[in-house]
Amino acid sequence: MQNSLWLVGIEKLPINKLTTSLNCDVCIVGGGLTGIYTAYLLAKKGVNVVLLEGNSSVGIATTGHSTGKLTPQHDAVYAKLLQSFTVGETQRYYHANVNAIESAISNLPIELYQKADSYMYATTEQGKKTLEDEIEAYKTLSIPGFETLETELPFEILSSIKLPNTAQIHPTNFALHFAKLAMKEGANFYVNSRVTKVVIDEKTVYVEDDLQVSFNHLVLATHYPIEAVKGLQIAKLSVDRSYLTATKTSELLKGQYISVDSPSRTIRTALINNQPYFIYGGSSHIAGTIEDTQNYYETLQNEVVSKFDLPKPEYLWSAQDPNTADSLPYVGPITENESNVYIATGYRKWGLSNSLVAGEIISSAIIKEKHEAADIYNPSRNQFGKTMLRMLNLIGFTVANLTEGYLTRMDAPKCTHLGCRTRWNDGDETWDCPCHGSRFDKFGNVIEGPAVYPLDLK
Ligand SMILES: Cc1cc2nc3c(=O)[nH]c(=O)nc-3n(C[C@H](O)[C@H](O)[C@H](O)COP(=O)(O)OP(=O)(O)OC[C@H]3O[C@@H](n4cnc5c(N)ncnc54)[C@H](O)[C@@H]3O)c2cc1C
């Protein structure tokens, strides 16, 4: 079984299971960074908030399986965004992330984050071309990054873009910090309380053990929305899975790195209990489509030894994140008509800073304040051509996987979301669904939605 470096020795917060039905002003489903930060911002404004988390702790799901880079350098996204958005809109994406990071870390104890320069690098001609386009986008958008060949990497690179003065965090401790602040401000958190049904017309969510929570506003901060039929997110979001490792090292890097080559690689260091760790990861595939994931871990382990002259990593973990058609997350009302139900998803593996932006956008909407980036993050934004193409592709992909599962994996358990046959993931020992990325442990318990019910393993 794999284990994330960020989950070792974390604090156990005193949060109970929901035991009675409740009414609240804002119900937040999901205790990752998105849900926690939204709860914190709302509770600080005196709003009555209930947060329901299906796991035994908050901050341990995707947030606790990330790389912990808190930066607006979201790999080579700015050239891509300029294909779908205007210069002004793309600048607002950048500034929303910069401002949200600054605001979150402004009063943070210094041990909760470190300053680190962010680098994107290329070792191939194709990667070099990607960086040439990206630096042009930086110039157009006045992003203060620049090209350099000076890095701490122990191998030759062809090009890199440095964005100075960004941050890195221990993502779980960071999330737990804001969870404690939110609860101190009066937010009510519950763990082991999985929401199994959302009935928007009744303004009620149904929780395991026959409990209900009634709300005026609902925030689905479940990573992949558990209600994804409304607004058709189910046909708009694809889900990619990637791999990470950590090994003891003797020194800390000043920078944090990501390659734009294929397969990509991500690099940073972290100090855990005075011990420096080298974190190395990458590769990507559509969630639920690969059985032999052990192979991904082995490749990374071998590279740590051969390229960085370090021992074989002792921590191995993986995670997944949804993507949108135009590379900008969906944050805001689930549909134009349901303005009291919010989603926050599609972070494309840059959801730590985007969770903070999401918290700001959703809390502003609830307290009726304007947020400068709400329109560009709006899930109903008009990207008709791109979105239609994506929807056709994803519907085709889902139908192909559904059919393939019934033809070739009849004995694999059926996902409780829409009935696709799951696939065994040997590296993580989980049952993963190729259709929408739901995951289950070897006993069938839900690890990750959109599924909300366990597998029938009989
Ligand atoms: C390999 C990898 C590395 C990454 N590295 C970075 C990085 O360095 N920097 C960066 O900015 N981003 C990074 N990301 C992205 C980032 O980690 C995520 O986008 C972000 O953590 C998502 O936060 P979240 O709160 O939306 O989701 P999560 O942290 O997954 O939280 C969602 C919560 O909802 C709960 N939940 C789900 N369904 C229910 C239900 N029915 N009832 C109750 N609770 C429910 C889950 O249990 C979970 O706790 C990375 C992603 C991956 C895959």
Residue 19 located in a structural domain:
yes
Residue 453 located in a structural domain:
no
Give the domain CATH number at 221. Answer: 3.50.50.60
Q: Which helix (H) or strand (E) holds 286?
A: strand 275-286
Torsion on CA atoms 225, 70, 353, 449, rounded to nearest 10: 0
Percent of the chain with pLDDT over 90: 84
Same domain, residue pair 47 and 26: yes
Last residue of one domain, picked from the residues 377, 409, 439: 377
pLDDT(138) > 80: yes
Same domain, residue pair 193 and 284: no
Same domain, residue pair 194 and 213: yes
Same domain, residue pair 245 and 319: yes
Same domain, residue pair 197 and 343: yes
Q: Which atom of ligand 1 is nearest to the CA of 344?
A: 26
Same domain, residue pair 184 and 201: yes
Higher pLDDT, 1 or 249: 249
Same domain, residue pair 269 and 395: no
Return the closest-CA partner of residue 280 out of 253, 294, 292: 253
Same domain, residue pair 155 and 178: no
What confidence tier does 383 reach under pLDDT thresholds 50, 70, 90? low
Residue 35 located in a structural domain:
yes
Average pLDDT of the segment spanning 419-440:
93
Pocket test for ligand 1, best of 316, 349, 446 (most atoms within 8 A of CB): 349
Quick one: pLDDT at residue 228?
65
Q: Is 55 in the pocket of ligand 1 (CB under 6 A)?
A: yes
Q: Whose CA is nearest to atom 19 of ligand 1?
A: 351
What is d(CA 161, CA 148) in angstroms, rounded to the nearest whole number?
6
Q: Is 401 in the pocket of ligand 1 (CB under 6 A)?
A: no
Percent of the chain with pLDDT over 70: 98
10 CB burial (10 A radius; 0-12, 13-18, 19+): middle
Return the closest-CA partner of residue 340 out of 201, 187, 185: 201
Which DSSP string do the residues of 117-148 spell out, in sequence order?
A: EEEEEESSHHHHHHHHHHHHHHHHHT---EE-
pLDDT(359) > 80: yes
Quick one: pLDDT at residue 60?
97
Quick one: pLDDT at residue 231?
67
Assess contact for 433 and 41: CB atoms under 8 A: no
What confidence tier does 159 reach under pLDDT thresholds 50, 70, 90? very high
- Distance separating the N- and C-terminal Cα atoms of the chain: 23
Last residue of one domain, picked from the residues 278, 293, 323: 323
Lowest mean pLDDT among 105-109, 170-174, 392-396: 392-396
pLDDT(354) > 80: yes
Residue 62 CA, ligand 1 centroid: distance in Å: 3
Phi, psi dihedrals of residue 231, rounded to the nearest 5°? 80, -5
Same domain, residue pair 245 and 159: yes
Residue 105 located in a structural domain:
no
Same domain, residue pair 348 and 215: yes
Q: Does the bond joining 276 to the residue before it have cis omega, within 30 degrees of 0?
A: no
Last residue of one domain, picked from the residues 296, 323, 350: 323
Inter-CA distances, 417 with 72, 227, 228, 362, 446, Å: 34, 11, 11, 27, 11
What is d(CA 182, CA 42) in angstroms, rounded to the nearest whole number?
8
The total of structural domains in the chain comes to 3
Residue 457 located in a structural domain:
no
Give the domain CATH number at 308. Answer: 3.30.9.10
Residue 147 CA, ligand 1 centroid: distance in Å: 31
How high does pLDDT run on average in the chain?
Answer: 94
What confidence tier does 444 reach under pLDDT thresholds 50, 70, 90? very high
- The token duo for 373 is 């980036």
Phi, psi dihedrals of residue 286, rounded to the nearest 5°? -65, 130
Same domain, residue pair 205 and 340: yes
Residue 87 located in a structural domain:
no
What confidence tier does 407 reach under pLDDT thresholds 50, 70, 90? confident
Lowest mean pLDDT among 39-48, 62-71, 123-132, 230-239: 230-239
Same domain, residue pair 254 and 231: no
Assess contact for 447 and 4: CB atoms under 8 A: no
Assess contact for 54 and 192: CB atoms under 8 A: yes
Quote the domain boundaries for residue 404. 385-448
Q: Say which residue the tokens 């870390």 belong to.
A: 105
What is d(CA 378, CA 332) in angstroms, rounded to the nearest whole number?
5
Return the closest-CA partner of residue 322 out of 34, 27, 6, 8: 34
Quick one: pLDDT at residue 401?
72
Per-residue pLDDT tens for 199-243? 999 999 999 989 999 999 999 999 999 976 776 777 788 899 999
Quick one: pLDDT at residue 227?
77
Return the closest-CA partner of residue 150 out of 140, 141, 162: 162
Residue 456 located in a structural domain:
no
Q: Is 265 in the pocket of ligand 1 (CB under 6 A)?
A: no
Assess contact for 454 and 440: CB atoms under 8 A: yes
pLDDT(1) > 60: no
Per-residue pLDDT tens for 326-349? 999 999 999 999 999 999 999 999
Residue 99 located in a structural domain:
no
